[in-house]
Chain A
Amino acid sequence: MTTETEAPNATEVPAGRWNVDPVHSVVAFSVRHMMVGTFRGEFSEIEGTLTDGKLVGRVQVGSLQVKDENLKGHLFSPDFFDLERYPEIVYESSSLTVYDGVLTSTGTLTLKGIHTPVTATGRLAGPAVALGEVSKIGLDLETTVDREAIGLGWNAPLPKGGFGLGSTVTISVTLELALDDED
């Protein structure tokens, strides 16, 4: 029995159907704010599956956690996510591989009806046997995309030059998935 607290990285993407545990997973983004800071947002309603090497994830835009109601309202408005028309963000991988310890996912991000090809990298940990004899894996992915290209290009010029928001946004996904063995 191991005494480690962390499972080693996987050398290949496991077969089978794996379901995202939404409580122990995070889908978040960050963007440069006022040229110096970092604004982070996180969606609380997420779901996803990894089925025989294909990763599909869905995020409810309305579950975005923001500390200020006015800012949240603006982020939900047509200037940004346009919640009324596009309540869901979807990611679907076309390829998911592990090579030399690095997990790489290429796929399509669909946001505001715009399909954007993205490549994200990270790590795949496990499988490990968790409580209840459940097999689990951990999957971390990160990518950077052009805000304007994904339909979130709003910005505010600053009085002495520059802009209030960075031109790129970093999307970070940290997923814990459990093997679905109920077939």
Chain B
Amino acid sequence: MRVLGIIGSLRAESHNRRLLRAAAGQLPPDTELVIFEGLKSVEPFDERDEHENGGGMPGVDTLFAAIRSADAILFVTPEYNGSIPGVLKNAVDWASRPTSATSPLANKPVAVIGASTGSFGAVWAQAELRKALGLAGARVLDHELAIPTAHEAFADDGRLARAAARRRLGEILEHVVAEAHGGPSAPDVRSSHAP
């Protein structure tokens, strides 16, 4: 079982990269996490590149290959100006092509989590990303993990400091892996809230 982690921040030591690393430490058994490192190289979306120039864009090719080889995707996003970071949205726009029935994202189980240094934990970016992924044809988990005050959210060993947040992260990972196995058998975490 391979989970692809896509981080919406390009900064090498971003809080959301730390969150993804924390997630890597809580994966269900027999699950590997592969971090997508090519987000900065994904070319800006231009429909003409697809239709008129026949593709041939190495950044997009790498993104497509990474998504197609993954059983599920964990998006970890910060929030810029109340929304999805542009580079991340650009990648989603590419991965939704040519239609939501045939794109690399079609039927792919995906979960969205996020961290921010503010007090809302990137909830708007997460909500908008879930919406965009749904329109792109993905199997979007209707769950959220918001990590506010991210600069204080991690323990020295890299884990999330709060037990409730760790528990919720574990539940979401379990759920997305269960979806990748073909059905919703993980515990329902819709009603639980991280502090």
Contact = CB atoms under 8 A, between A and B. Distances in A.
Contacts of B99: 69-70, 72-73
A77 B138 contact: yes
B39 to A, nearest CB: 24
Interface residues of A, number: 13
B100 interface: yes
A76 B101 CA distance: 7
A80 to B, nearest CB: 9
Given A77-B106, A77-B107, A154 B100 contact: no
A70 B103 CA distance: 11
B17 to A, nearest CB: 28
Contacts of A82: 139
A182 B141 CA distance: 50
Contacts, number: 41
- Contact size range, B: 10 to 19
Nearest to B102: A73
Interface in B98-129: 99-103, 106-107
Contacts of A72: 99, 101
Contacts of A146: none
Interface string A43-83: 00000000000000000000000000110111011110010
Interface string A83-114: 01100000000000000000000000000000
Contacts of A73: 99-103, 106, 137
Contacts of B107: 77-78, 84
A79 B101 contact: no
18 contacts: A69-B99, A69-B101, A73-B100, A73-B102, A73-B103, A74-B135, A74-B137, A76-B101, A76-B137, A77-B101, A77-B106, A77-B138, A78-B139, A79-B134, A79-B135, A84-B107, A85-B182, A85-B183
What 8 A-B pairs have minimum CB-CB distances, sorted nearest first? A73-B101, A73-B100, A77-B137, A73-B99, A78-B139, A79-B134, A84-B107, A69-B99
